[in-house]
Structure 1
């Protein structure tokens, strides 16, 4: 019976690491702010740095469910553009919800084990975290290989998977100048940050999970 909890903790740990690696990039707004200059956002959009930060904050407030209506600072937007951010909002909130649920589940298991002075049974001599890391690393390698060879293609595939049948993510700067605040290079940097976080956390889980209990 105890092994069931070990098996359940594998996908829980994997999801916690995955959603957590995404969440910090989404929540940490200075990650975008420090890129405004290097990415030439002000030159492309015609906004000041302060206006760009305000517009990005409005967009993220909406995508994180902190405001009911879409806004992008002083920038205008189309109904199609707003509808894409409504789709993004669903994914962001889902990511945070999955992170919260998996962390609560893992915390509950940890507290239970501490109170009973025991640990989850190992599987094949390794902890559930080790196997979660192995699974995630396989996915990371596949996605990274595609992204490194052709990020634009990987970007398009991502949208076709998570926004099937929709083309509202193909922005026209004339009607949705908000896209000028979010160049492809910014999303590439987000992907790099997420991948680096995943690899670091997977390395920690793998190294701690492979040690045999004495």
Structure 2
């Protein structure tokens, strides 16, 4: 394989690993119910929503299970009402999560094949680039977390959805009362932290392999 092709492959690998890492930890955090259970107390969701803890957990668990179903036929919360627009929105969220799964499947296959090629050619630049990118990622999101999460959160929804069904009316979709914005900010913080940690691990692996390679090259001339 030519140097140009190897460079392009390394660049594409870095991009795919960066995106796949964020997608992977988004899936992990979205299914990490313990974070939400903690926030029920931390954010005092029971008091702000007027819904008891048992009911909150029951409906939240249903919501997460719904997003993980392969082909749900309907969205019916156990004890909370849902409007037609509310149901449509959650089906749209389900579609996004499904597409995220397809992307992760593709990424895993692509990365495995690419890593084999990289090992064969003893080139590990992708580890350095993707590792540094993931470690720098928090600096990009810092303004969001420090200035105003609400505006960015709204803009995020406007980009992902072509309607305003995500603007819930609590009287028609009381589920919004148990999903405070602060919880999603905590999810984002955890996703960023885990991605940064993984980026650090990738960079450490790169440094190890790079030094090992330099050491072997030095021995050749002894």
Q: Do the structures match in fold with TM over 0.5?
A: yes
Partner residue in 1 for 2:64: 60
Q: Which 5+ residue runs of structure 1 have no aligned equivalent? A: none
1:199 aligns with 2:196: yes
1:149 matched to 2:147: yes
Which residue does the alignment assign to 1:89? 94
Judged with a 3 Å threshold, the aligned counterparts in structure 2 of structure 1 residues 72 and 39 are, in CA distance, closer, same or farther, namely: farther
For 2:47 and 2:76, locate their aligned partners in 1 and report how far apart those are by CA, in whole Å. 21
Cα distance 1:168–1:120, how it changes in 2: closer, same or farther (>3 A)? farther
2:21 aligned with 1:17: yes
Query: Unaligned stretches of 5+ in structure 2?
Result: 215-222
Shift of the alpha carbon at 1:185?
Answer: 1.0
Tell me, yes or no, if the aligned pair for 1:83 and 1:168 is still in contact at 8 Å.
yes
- Which of the numbers 52, 73, 94 marks the counterpart of 2:78? 73
Counterpart of 1:162 in structure 2 is 160
In the alignment, is the contact (CA less than 8 A) between 1:16 and 1:102 conserved in 2?
yes
Task: Quote the Cα distance in structure 2 between the aligned partners of 1:175 and 1:120.
Answer: 59
Structure with greater helix share of residues: 2
The reply on whether 1:41 has 2:38 as its aligned counterpart is no
Q: 2-side partners of 1:5 and 1:144: how far apart?
A: 30
Which among 121, 124, 130 is matched to residue 123 of structure 2? 121
CA separation in 2, counterparts of 1:188 and 1:7?
31
2:182 aligned residue: 185
Determine the C-alpha separation between the residues in 2 that align with 1:68 and 1:140: 38
Shift of 1:119: 4.8
- Is the 1:81–1:169 contact (alpha carbons within 8 Å) kept by the matching residues of 2? yes
